[in-house]
Structure 1
Amino acid sequence: MACLPTVPRIKLGSQGLEVSAQGLGCMGMSAFYGPPKPEADMIDLIHYAVDKGVTFLDTSDVYGPHTNEILVGKAIKGIRDKVQLATKFAVAFDDKGNLSIRGDPAFVRAACEASLKRIDVDYIDLYYQHRVDPKVPIEVTVGEMKKLVEEGKVKYLGLSEASASDIRRAHSVHPITAVQLEWSLWARDVEEDVIPTCRELGIGIVAYSPLGRGFFSGKQIEEFAEGDFRKIAMPRFLPENLERNKVFYEQLCALGEKKKATPGQLALAWVHHQGLEVAPIPGTTKIKNLEENIGAVGIKLSKEEVKEVEDAVPIDKVAGDRYGDMSNTWRYASTPPLSSWQKA
C-alpha cells in the first residue's frame, strides 16, 4: 500500500487514557487461530504497527495460555513509552485443563502479578476482567482491581463481555475506562443496552473481532489452519451457516467496488464510524492485512453509506450464534449481589 492514512489518537473513556483510534489484537499470533506464528515475524509486525501509529496493543493471559503476553513483552522492549498496553485476567485452567472463570480477590492479584512478570513491565495501561465471574459480585472483583491502581501496577480498569447492570455496579466502585465487546456488522446485540450504558457513563468502547473473526476480510473455512477454533467453536463458520452467510460478504464486495475499498475495509470503517469513543482492535499476523486495516481509517462514509453498509448485513438474517457456548457472554453471565458475598 503506497500511502497509509495517519492513525489518529482518541480519548478512551473519561479518565485520561489516550490510545490509537485503531488497535492491534495480538491473540491470533499465539493462540486459537491455528499454530503459533514465528516469534520474530510477530515482533516485526508489532514494531511495524507501532511505527504506523497503531500503538494500542491487546493481549490476555489466556492467549497461549501465557505465551502471547511474553511475545508482546519482547516486542515492546525499548518502546514501552510509545504503546498503550492492555491485557486481561479471569480465565483459569486447572491441572486437567478444565476452564473456569475467577474474579476472587486472591486470583485478581495473582493474575496481575503474573502478567507484569511475563510482559516484563512495571505497569499495565488497561487491565480488563476478561469475563465476569458468576460466583463473585463485580464489586468485590473491581474492589481488588482498584487496589492495583492505587499501588501503581495498573493505570486504568476495564471489563469485557459484561452486562449493562454489572458495568454500572463496577463503575460505582471505581471508574471503568473501557468495556471490550464483540461489535461488528454481524455482532450488534450490544447496541441494545450495553453500548448506551457505556456512553451514559463516559466509558470507552473497544470492539473486538470487528471483522467478524476474519469473515469480512474474505477468510473462508478452507483457509483455516488445523486447530483453528473457528472450525469448531464458531457456529457462523459451520458449512451450513457459512453458505447462507456468504451472501453478506458478496454484498459488501459490491459496495466496496463503488468506494474503491475492500469488503474488510468497509466493515472496519463502519465500526470506526460508530463514534469517537470507539476503538476497534482487529487482529492480524500479516503486514499486508495490517496495512489494509489501517487503510480503513481513511475511509469516509456518509450517513447514507453507513446505512448502506449495515443493510448489506441484515442482522436478523445472519445464520448461527457468535459462539457455540454463549454462557460466558454478557447476555447470559452476571455476577451475584454484593450482599451474598458479605453474608458468606
Structure 2
Amino acid sequence: MSTAPSAGPRIQQRPLGAAGPTTSVLGLGCMGMSDLYGPADEAESIATVHAALDAGVTLLDTGDFYGMGHNELLIHDALRGRDRESVQISVKFGAQRSPDGQWLGYDASPAATKTALAYTLRRLRTDHVDIYRPARLDPDVPVEETVGAIAELVEAGYVRHIGLSEVGADTLRRAAAVHPISDLQIEYSLISRSVEEKILPTARELGIGVTAYGVLSRGLLSGHWNNDRALAGTDFRGHSPRFQGDNLAHNLHLVEALRTVAAERGATVAQVAIAWVASRGEDVVPLVGARRRNRLGEALGTLDVTLGPADLAAIEAAVPAGSAAGERYAAAQMAHLDSEH
C-alpha cells in the first residue's frame, strides 16, 4: 500500500446534516498532532494535512485547547497558500487548562464562548470558523445559552454552522430548538456503540449529522497496537481503562479476531474498522486521527473497501456490541459526558 495518498481530489462529498456544510466523507482529526498522544513531529504533521487536502479531504477537526492553541496555529501553517473556502474547519472550545496542561473544567458561558472564538480566529488567521462547538456540556450553563451565543456569532458572520459534542438526546433537542445544529461529534466505533440506542435516532429525527471520532479507539483498533508498547507520560492512553492490564489483553484479542476478518477481505484491521463506521449511514462522517502520511494513506484506503451484509455480519461477530473491556474514559472524564447519562 502506498504510504501517501495520490494527488488530486478523489474523495466523495456529502452534506453534514440538514443544516450543515458539504464535507468530504472522511475528515481528519488533528488533535494528536499537538497533544495527548505523546510527541509528534510538526513537519510530518503539516505534510500529513497537505496530503489529506491533496487527496480531497476537506474537513479538519481541532480544538482550541489542543496543545493550548498549538493545533490551531499548526492548521494555519498547513493552510498557508491554500484556498480557505475549500476547507471546513471544525473547532471545539470550552475546556479550561493551566499552563502546565492540567484540566481545570469547562466554561461555555456566552462571554467565554465569544472570547474563545476571538482567540481562535486570530490563531487560525481566518475571518470565520465553519463549525463551532462546545467540547462538552457545561453543567453550569444551560445549553440554550451556549447555542444562543454561537447563534449570535453566526449572525455576525464569524461562524458558519453550530455543532455539539458528546451530548445526549435530550440536550440535542433543547439545542436544536434554539438554532439548527449541523452535527454531533461523538465517539463511535466497533467498541463504542452506546450512541446507537437513543442519540443516533434522535440526531436523525432532527436532521443532525454525526462526525464520529475515535473510530479506531485511539489506536486500539488500528491493528498496530501491542501489549508491550511504551507510552510517553503525556499520552492519556496510559490512564485509559481500555489500555490497562487485563482489559488491554482482552481488547487485543478482539482485534486479532477482526484481523482475520480483514485479511479475508484483503484489507487491514484499521480499514475494516473505519469502513464499518462509515457504513452506519450517509449521515455519519468518520474522523481519522492520522498523524503521519503512512497512517493517512492506510485510512484513505478505506474508500476502496466495500462491505456487504455478510461482511458486516462477520465484523460484528468478531467484535460484538458491548464486548470491549473497560470504559472509554477514566471515571472522572466519564462523569463529564452528557452523552453517557
For the superposition of Structure 1 and Structure 2, which TM-score range results when normalised by the shorter chain?
Answer: over 0.9
Q: Deviations over 1:34-55 (max 9, x none)?
A: 02x2322211110111000112
1:21 counterpart residue number = 25
| 1:312 and 2:318 are equivalent in the alignment | yes
Following superposition of structure 1 onto structure 2, how do residues 75-224 of structure 1 map, counting pairs within 5 Å?
Answer: 75-79=78-82, 80-94=84-98, 97-218=102-223, 219-220=225-226, 222-224=228-230
| 1:51 and 2:59 are equivalent in the alignment | no
* Secondary structure of residue in 2 paired with 1:222: coil
Report if aligned partners of 1:33, 1:224 keep a CA contact under 8 Å in 2. Answer: no
Deviation at 1:169, TM superposition (A): 0.3
Deviates more, 1:217-226 or 1:158-167: 217-226
Report if aligned partners of 2:95, 2:103 keep a CA contact under 8 Å in 1. Answer: no
Counterpart residue type for residue 327 of structure 1 = A
Report if aligned partners of 2:60, 2:89 keep a CA contact under 8 Å in 1. Answer: yes
* Secondary structure of residue in 2 paired with 1:250: helix
Q: Within 1, Cα distance between the matches of 2:205 and 2:197?
A: 13
CA 221–231 in structure 1, closer or farther in 2 if over 3 Å, else same: farther
| 1:33 and 2:42 are equivalent in the alignment | no
2:264 counterpart residue number = 258
* Secondary structure of residue in 2 paired with 1:180: strand
Give the TM-score normalised by structure 2: 0.93
Query: Where does the alignment leave 5 or more consecutive residues of structure 2 unmatched?
Result: none
Deviation at 1:94, TM superposition (A): 4.8
Report if aligned partners of 1:32, 1:227 keep a CA contact under 8 Å in 2. Answer: no
* Secondary structure of residue in 2 paired with 1:166: helix
Q: Within 2, Cα distance between the matches of 1:292 and 1:98?
A: 33
Q: Percent identity?
A: 40
Q: Within 2, Cα distance between the matches of 1:123 and 1:275?
A: 29
Query: Where does the alignment leave 5 or more consecutive residues of structure 1 unmatched?
Result: 334-344
2:238 counterpart residue number = 232
Deviation at 1:122, TM superposition (A): 0.6
Report if aligned partners of 2:14, 2:23 keep a CA contact under 8 Å in 1. Answer: yes
Deviation at 1:330, TM superposition (A): 2.7
Report if aligned partners of 1:230, 1:237 keep a CA contact under 8 Å in 2. Answer: no
1:341 counterpart residue number = none
2:296 counterpart residue number = 290
Deviation at 1:298, TM superposition (A): 1.7
Deviation at 1:6, TM superposition (A): 2.9
2:76 counterpart residue number = 73
CA 86–231 in structure 1, closer or farther in 2 if over 3 Å, else same: closer
Q: Within 2, Cα distance between the matches of 1:167 and 1:224?
A: 39
Deviation at 1:107, TM superposition (A): 0.3
CA 98–265 in structure 1, closer or farther in 2 if over 3 Å, else same: closer
* Secondary structure of residue in 1 paired with 2:74: helix
Report if aligned partners of 2:242, 2:327 keep a CA contact under 8 Å in 1. Answer: yes
Aligned Cα root-mean-square deviation (Å)? 1.7
Q: Within 1, Cα distance between the matches of 2:12 and 2:227?
A: 34
Counterpart residue type for residue 17 of structure 2 = G
Q: Deviations over 1:83-121 (max 9, x none)?
A: 111111010125784511111111000011111111111
Q: Within 2, Cα distance between the matches of 1:180 and 1:16?
A: 13
Give the TM-score normalised by structure 1: 0.92
Q: Within 2, Cα distance between the matches of 1:269 and 1:306?
A: 10
Runs of 4+ in structure 1 off by over 6 angstroms are none
Q: Deviations over 1:263-303 (max 9, x none)?
A: 11000000111111111001011111101101112211112
CA 331–270 in structure 1, closer or farther in 2 if over 3 Å, else same: same
CA 161–224 in structure 1, closer or farther in 2 if over 3 Å, else same: farther
Report if aligned partners of 2:231, 2:238 keep a CA contact under 8 Å in 1. Answer: no
Counterpart residue type for residue 85 of structure 1 = I
Deviation at 1:16, TM superposition (A): 4.6
Deviation at 1:332, TM superposition (A): 4.7
* Secondary structure of residue in 2 paired with 1:10: strand
* Secondary structure of residue in 2 paired with 1:260: coil
Q: Within 2, Cα distance between the matches of 1:322 and 1:205?
A: 18
Q: Deviations over 1:150-183 (max 9, x none)?
A: 0100000000001110110000000000000000
Q: Within 2, Cα distance between the matches of 1:302 and 1:88?
A: 35
* Secondary structure of residue in 1 paired with 2:218: coil
Report if aligned partners of 2:191, 2:323 keep a CA contact under 8 Å in 1. Answer: no
